[in-house]
Structure 1
Amino acid sequence: MRFIILYAVTYLRNITVRIDEETYKAIEELTRVEKTDRSTVARKLIARGLEHLRRERALKLYREGKCTLWKASEMAGVPLREMIDLAKSEKIPIHFSAEDVDEAWRAAFEED
């Protein structure tokens, strides 16, 4: 009988930040509630914060007419349908142009 052993190696980068006492206490509380370590909580917070900032930036650029709805969805890292819902929830008028249709069509049939 043969066994194959696979190893998954993830390389993580270090970052150092200074936080105020209130933020530190909030992280400690989450650490206890989640039954995990501070690093895991910090990674989750950073990931969610980045997700929020990407969406916020994409919506801002779309609102200002600096990108198409399709491009905004790519920048935010969400499907077009979700980007439409995000724009609607922010009361941003949806302008789906011929360019948007062309981009969506090309992306749908793009070969990797």
Structure 2
Amino acid sequence: MPVTLTTRVDDDLAKLIDDIAAKEGMDRSTVIRRFLTRAAKDWLIERSLKDYEEGKITLWQVAERCGLSLWEAVSEVEKREIHVPYTPEDLEEDLEGI
């Protein structure tokens, strides 16, 4: 069930939102919902990739947490230039497997 949230924004932001709504043929609420959805998803991806970079979770877990495919998660890693947590121990383990 939808929940109503109320917040205050400055006049410049309200005008920008109204301008976007007019150009896109949407009402103000739709524009705000779309922006909030996009910002929340972006935050979730950023937070999850930080956890990945710190070695707290795997890339598969990033994908699951964010509702992405593994390849979309890889693309986000590349796009955001995330350091892949690959240790010398990981390399040794991989070499032993070969």
For the 8 Å contact 1:70–1:80, the answer to whether it is kept is yes
TM-score by length of 1: 0.70
Q: Alignment partner for residue 40 of structure 1, among 30, 36, 48?
A: 30
Over the residues paired in the alignment, what is the CA RMSD in angstroms?
1.7
1:76 to 2:66 alignment: yes
Give how far 1:95 is off.
5.4
Partner in structure 2 of residue 25 of structure 1: 15
TM-score by length of 2: 0.79
Structure 2 counterpart of 1:53, one-letter code: W
1:60 to 2:50 alignment: yes
Residues paired across the two proteins, number = 87
Give how far 1:57 is off.
0.7
Where does the alignment leave 5 or more consecutive residues of structure 1 unmatched? 1-10, 98-112
Give how far 1:22 is off.
1.6
Partner in structure 2 of residue 13 of structure 1: 3
Same amino acid, percent of matched pairs:
33
For the 8 Å contact 2:17–2:31, the answer to whether it is kept is yes
